Amino acid sequence: MPALKDQVALITGAARGIGRGIALRFGAEGAAVGVFDRNRTEAEAAAGEILSAGGRAIAIHGDVADAGDVRHAIEETGRAFGPATVLVHNAAILPAGTIEETSEDAWDQVFAVNVKGAYLAAREVLPCMRKAGGGSIIFMSSITGVNGFPGMAAYSSTKGALISLARAMAIDYARERIRVNCVSPGTVDSPMLRDFVAAQPDPQRTRQAFDQVQPRGRVGTIEEIVGVFVFLASAESTFVSGANFIVDGGMSIKGDQPRL
């Protein structure tokens, strides 16, 4: 039996990268998927791929930092499939820079998407999960939120905030059978990483630096990350809440950081 049969999932930032990988895998595992993203064309393409494979999905266009758009996404998912039982907040932006190199506007923007987006989506989905008798909320954090990373001050701050938010919510909603967890990937070969690398003065050296700090000599793949989300969304993890799953190929144990 598919691991996520009868689950209804809303995934933010699901049109590309790891979010898209999660959406496709959830669809393959039997979940009905709301593909929520500000890129309408790519969201429709991801939803179309799930449908073509025999799954259930709808594309929803909107901005995760906008309360009205988030409410609309939850409502559209509910109308199509019933109350959402899984939320994956994956939407994120990654401005590069130290504190001194980060403008006030950039700081506000990254917190609006990465952290406020989580707040808005969780707030809207909680009544749905109560109606369904429980649910699973999963925040996409990052190893940068655990250990910090050079040149990513604002992004690292938001990812650390999500870990703390998951812990607080796990306590607040435990008796309602609503679980809240984080996943903190290490460096993953994704559009976000490629965009970050391309923006550096020496992209080739930067990419090599990310590979070299990995115990296996390479960054992770999207496929190596998404299985943890399936586990946390499934009935196999009903006693798991308030946890942060580090999925980094052992990079944090090795202790190296890329010299960008």
Burial (CB count within 10 angstroms: exposed 0-12, middle 13-18, buried 19+), residue 120: buried
Neighbours of 42 (CB within 10 A): 17
pLDDT at 65 > cutoff 70: yes
Domains of the chain: 8-188+222-247 (3.40.50.720)
Cα 115–chain centre separation: 11
User: pLDDT value at position 44?
Assistant: 98
Q: Which of 13-27, 135-149, 191-205 has the lowest mean pLDDT?
A: 191-205
Separation between Cα atoms, residue 89 and residue 124, nearest integer Å? 12
Q: Is 250 left (phi over 0), alpha (psi -120 to 50) or beta?
A: left
Lookup: tokens for 156: 């690292």
pLDDT of 255: 66
Q: How confident is the model at residue 215 (pLDDT cuts 50, 70, 90)?
A: confident
Catalytic residues: 155
User: 0.95 cut: is pTM over it?
Assistant: no
Q: What is the pLDDT of residue 259?
A: 65
Mean residue pLDDT across the chain:
94
- Among candidates 70, 15, 74, which has minimal Cα distance to 46? 15
Q: What is the distance between the alpha carbons of residues 75 and 42, in angstroms, rounded to a whole number?
A: 21
Contact 112, 65 (CB under 8 A): yes
